[in-house]
Amino acid sequence: MKVIPVLDLKGETVVRARMGQRDQYRPIKTPLSHTSDPVDVARGLLSVHSFDTLYIADLDAIEGRGDNGATLARLRQSCPQLTLWVDNGIADIRRAVDWLASGADHLVLGSEAQTDPALARRFVDDDRVALSLDFRGPVFQGPPELLADTASWPRRVIVMTLARVGSGAGPDLDRLAAVRAIAGGRSVYAAGGVRDARDLAALKRLDIAGALVATSLHDGRLTGSDLAAR
């Protein structure tokens, strides 16, 4: 199972996400880094385990208040061994094509930002694109057609349960099982609520390909030994 650490960026700073309440996110305080600078935090995460992928949520871009492009450039330069999966609120084909043409990172299409399911369908066979199916409670965030039309999903699908992010509540196993059942041969990733090695084992039993994690790494409930043994 692939474990992918998450950096939530706001104002060129890593913030601690909790339950999708973005107005309450504050600069992260973590034993893995002396600062909340993204490069420092990324290096702290790499001290736990030799991750090869990092998920970036550019909250400023998602909310239409600028972006953290300069920070992404610093991360690429400082941690060239990492592949970056970036959710930056892109919701139109031209911007998506231009982003991918730059060759810098992989693109995550967050369903909450989408208005037209055709965008995901355009990249259904592109291994550099992932679709994040975003949920607030039981409510899907995005066009209902996007959730229903599994043929439009790319090869990687993230199930993002926003209310469980940073909550310590555990992953939403029922929803993950439901998506896994209709996803065909696609790789499904869990996001939100992963606490420890037992949660990873539960996800593996559901044939979940990987998990996006943050709080459990910073709190030390998910250790380098846990990750080496998975």
d(CA 41, CA 26): 14
> What is residue 170's predicted lDDT score, i.e. its pLDDT?
86
> What is residue 22's predicted lDDT score, i.e. its pLDDT?
63
Architecture of domain 2-229: Alpha-Beta Barrel (3.20)
Can you tell me the mean pLDDT for 98-108?
90
Range with the poorest average pLDDT among 13-17, 83-87, 165-169, 210-214: 165-169
User: pLDDT-based confidence at 230, cuts 50/70/90?
Assistant: confident
Angle at 209 between CA 33 and CA 69, to 5 degrees: 45
Can you tell me the mean pLDDT for 120-139?
93
Percent of the chain having pLDDT more than 90?
Answer: 82
Range with the poorest average pLDDT among 14-18, 19-23, 190-194, 208-212: 19-23
Question: What's the mean per-residue pLDDT of the chain?
Answer: 92
> What is residue 98's predicted lDDT score, i.e. its pLDDT?
93
> Residue 156 in contact with residue 180, Cβ under 8 Å?
no
> Residue 43 in contact with residue 59, Cβ under 8 Å?
no
Tens of pLDDT, residues 64-86: 889 999 999 999 999 999 999 99
Phi and psi torsions of 225, nearest 5°: -65, -40
> What is residue 20's predicted lDDT score, i.e. its pLDDT?
53
Can you tell me the mean pLDDT for 154-182?
88
Global pTM reads 0.94
Residue 139, pLDDT above cutoff 60: yes
